[in-house]
Structure 1
Amino acid sequence: MVVQQATAALAQIDGWIAAEQRREAERRRGAEIRPPAPEWLVEVGLNKNNLVAVHTGDCWDPDKRARPVTRAEALDALTRLQAQACSKCRPDTALGVLE
């Protein structure tokens, strides 16, 4: 009886280990295929034509309507289009734009 219970417990533990190894492999695959974070983000308004703010790519504060842009587009948004610079990540400082 004890041998049977130990064998069942060992099989259960082996199942847990295999499931955890599968989850870890999936997590690694997901991290490998994830695209790199954008360097700059522009947050657009509700009408999609109004630029609200410029953020660095690693900013924690952009809205759901933020989209990735190039460095040139971020500079253009700050200088010519008069978009606000995020007060948390300060992309204007990172881009070298003085107000």
Structure 2
Amino acid sequence: MVPRRLPETATVAHAFERDMLDPVLLRAALLDLATTLAERLRARGQIAGGLTLAVRLAGGGGVEKTRRLPTPSAHTDDLRTVLWQIWDAMAYQRARIRLPEDLDRLRILERLAEIILRDIRIKIAEAEKRVAAMRPVRERHEVQWVLSYLREGGRSVADRIHASGCGMASSHTKPLTQDQALQLLSSRRVPACEICRPDTDLGVLD
């Protein structure tokens, strides 16, 4: 039994019925070529390492360019991306967009628009991540310490410093920053709560 040797190259072609400059239809044709080529490669169990795009010009001449794939592949999207890159490098970006009338070509254009929109959304998401990474991060400071008050003779009198959420704090409290709590505790003007012990947490020793 002699194993059959697979061909080292695969060729697909697309011929227009008339001279074509429409960039949308040309990209649609490239998408069709990428789809056909990918299906053929997968049927053979092969992958492509590079692509060559040959374009026949209206004047009888032609141009040909080759590009390697970043990673050998038989996926339609990978082949389509490289084909579009080759086409862009050829710089045949001319003529206004004209939509065909037949259903088959409109379906191809619809698929092309979906792919372009998906690529645009991916680029937008990447750009949003870059912009978000450059924004200054605003830290959210949660209240950790409070100063409770008692009512004496119609006025408020500082009573104790508590950790936030302490059940011994009165109903009248004022939030404190760490520096404010440290200053009050160090000055001995306001005592620390004997239950939640904010002085221990803040490192204020007797």
TM range (shorter): 0.5 to 0.7
CA RMSD of aligned residues (A): 2.1
| TM-score, structure 1 as length reference | 0.56
**Equivalent-residue separation in structure 2 for 1:81 and 1:58 (angstroms):** 22
Name the residue aligned to 1:87: 194
Name the residue aligned to 1:40: 145
**Equivalent-residue separation in structure 1 for 2:168 and 2:142 (angstroms):** 15
Task: Choose between structure 1 and 2 for higher RCO, CA contacts under 8 A separated by at least 6 residues.
Answer: 1
| Identical positions, percent | 30
**Equivalent-residue separation in structure 1 for 2:198 and 2:159 (angstroms):** 13
Kindly state the Cα deviation for residue 41 of structure 1 after the two structures are TM-superposed: 0.4
Unaligned runs of 5+ in 1: 1-35
2:170 pairs with 1:69: no
Aligned AA (1:95): L
Aligned AA (1:63): S
Kindly state the Cα deviation for residue 37 of structure 1 after the two structures are TM-superposed: 5.6
Kindly state the Cα deviation for residue 92 of structure 1 after the two structures are TM-superposed: 0.4
- Residues 32-84 of structure 1, C-alpha deviation per residue, up to 9 Å, x if partnerless? xxxx8620000123223x32100001212100111111011111111125211
Higher fraction of helix: 1
Aligned AA (1:70): T
Aligned AA (2:147): V
**Equivalent-residue separation in structure 1 for 2:200 and 2:188 (angstroms):** 17
Q: 1:45 to 1:76 in 2, by over 3 A?
A: farther
**Equivalent-residue separation in structure 1 for 2:174 and 2:192 (angstroms):** 15
2:161 pairs with 1:54: yes
Tell me how many residue pairs correspond in the alignment.
Answer: 64
Please tell me whether the aligned partners of residues 150 and 170 of structure 2 are also in contact (alpha carbons under 8 angstroms): no
**Equivalent-residue separation in structure 1 for 2:177 and 2:187 (angstroms):** 15
| TM-score, structure 2 as length reference | 0.28
Aligned AA (1:94): D
**Equivalent-residue separation in structure 1 for 2:188 and 2:205 (angstroms):** 15
Unaligned runs of 5+ in 2: 1-140
**Equivalent-residue separation in structure 1 for 2:205 and 2:187 (angstroms):** 13
